[in-house]
Amino acid sequence: MRSIRLVVLLIVATGLPVAAADLAAAKKDFIRFCAKCHGPQGKGDGPQADALATKPRDFTDCARMKGIQDDTLFAVIKEGGEAAHMSKDMPPWKDGMDDNEIHDLVAYVRSLCTK
């Protein structure tokens, strides 16, 4: 059991991506919380995108997404964009999702970039 904890600690500490436990549930969370601005496919073209001061990020832009670490995505989803010096238009979702759901959502967002 101790070795499993050590492996998990090393994965978290090094920032390596952790596979989502439930991508189907994460997709539902994405539709519920994110698609309004980021669009159903994550292209930044949701129905509320035009009302924002900053265009929502296009999660299918693989080159741009490679420059953002998972822990940054986690912080932005949990605490909002300003917490990571990004758009203040991105609200915090810490009251709508627990940490495990946010980790799953990060993995789902990563799955939108397939190149």
Domain ranges of the chain: 18-111
The pLDDT value recorded for residue 46 is 97
> Which ranges of 40-94 would DSSP assign to H, the alpha helix?
62-65, 70-79
What's the CATH architecture for 18-111? Orthogonal Bundle (1.10)
Distance CA 110, CA 62 (A): 9
Query: Would you state the pLDDT for residue 21?
Result: 56
Grouping H, G, I as helix, E, B as strand and the rest as coil, residue 110 is helix
At residue 3, the pLDDT reads 38
Per-residue pLDDT 10s for the chain (115 aa) are 443 333 343 344 445 454 535 999 999 999 999 999 999 999 999 999 999 999 999 999 999 999 999 999 999 999 999 999 999 999 999 999 999 999 999 999 999 997 6
Q: Which of 80, 77, 88 is nearest to 32 (CA)?
A: 77
